[in-house]
Amino acid sequence: MKLIGSLASPYVRKVRVVLAEKKLDYQFELENVWASETTIQKLNPLGKVPSLIMEDGTVMIDSRVMVEYLDTLTPVCKLLPPNGRERADIKCWEALADGVLDAGVLVRLERTLRPPEQQSADWIARQLRKVELGLASMSDKLGDQPYCAGIHYSLADVAVGCALGWFAFRFPEIDWRGTHPNLARLHDKLAERPSFKDTVPQ
């Protein structure tokens, strides 16, 4: 498999963390989707990374689809329960973590791609509210459990760890560590894992 991505993207990081946890071999190719010469659309009509080229040459898109599939490839470090409510709960954690990221990414794009006079303060505030409420919801759901889904490490932790790591990288002014010490505790524990250590955003 060949993963196309960037070193900054939290969605790409989620897939890289899962590949590492599952001990799956892959090639990693860097692609700057914002460069005028990008050819990412040939692989993914949505023009996004991550994009995963499978062994038969077909392309899988969207990190959530990828990690769900990758978890089925080997029993090493199962990240999702096979079915039922527990599986849905973990997918819900992932949707929340990715949703908070989506809102953060929209703020960053608004601030970096548009000249200041064209930026919408209302739009930015709307997205930042999602970030604030999303982080609060993660913190409430985590409580004093060791991991998002209880006592076992799962895809929920991968998704939340990648989201928190990205906010630390791109939005150092958001003090989620101070507001939600339990998220900081989880983040710091995850940061010790080789899969996270080797994929710190840059």
Q: Which residues bind ligand GSF (CB under 6 A)?
A: 9-11, 33, 47-50, 62-64, 98, 105
CB of 31 to ligand GSF, least distance (A): 9
Q: Report the residue closest to ligand GSF, judged by CB.
A: 9
Close Cβ partners of 39 (under 8 Å, ≥ 6 residues apart): none
Q: With respect to ligand GSF, which residue has the nearer C-beta, 74 or 112?
A: 112
Q: With respect to ligand GSF, which residue has the nearer C-beta, 72 or 179?
A: 72
Q: Compute the distance between CA of residue 110 and CA of residue 62 in angstroms, rounded to an integer.
A: 22
Q: With respect to ligand GSF, which residue has the nearer C-beta, 50 or 165?
A: 50
CB of 145 to ligand GSF, least distance (A): 25
CB of 102 to ligand GSF, least distance (A): 7
CB of 18 to ligand GSF, least distance (A): 12
CA dihedral (181, 185, 187, 193) in degrees, to 10, reads 170
Q: With respect to ligand GSF, which residue has the nearer C-beta, 63 or 154?
A: 63
Q: Compute the distance between CA of residue 167 and CA of residue 164 in angstroms, rounded to an integer.
A: 5
CB of 78 to ligand GSF, least distance (A): 21
Q: With respect to ligand GSF, which residue has the nearer C-beta, 10 or 134?
A: 10
CB of 201 to ligand GSF, least distance (A): 9
Q: With respect to ligand GSF, which residue has the nearer C-beta, 130 or 185?
A: 130
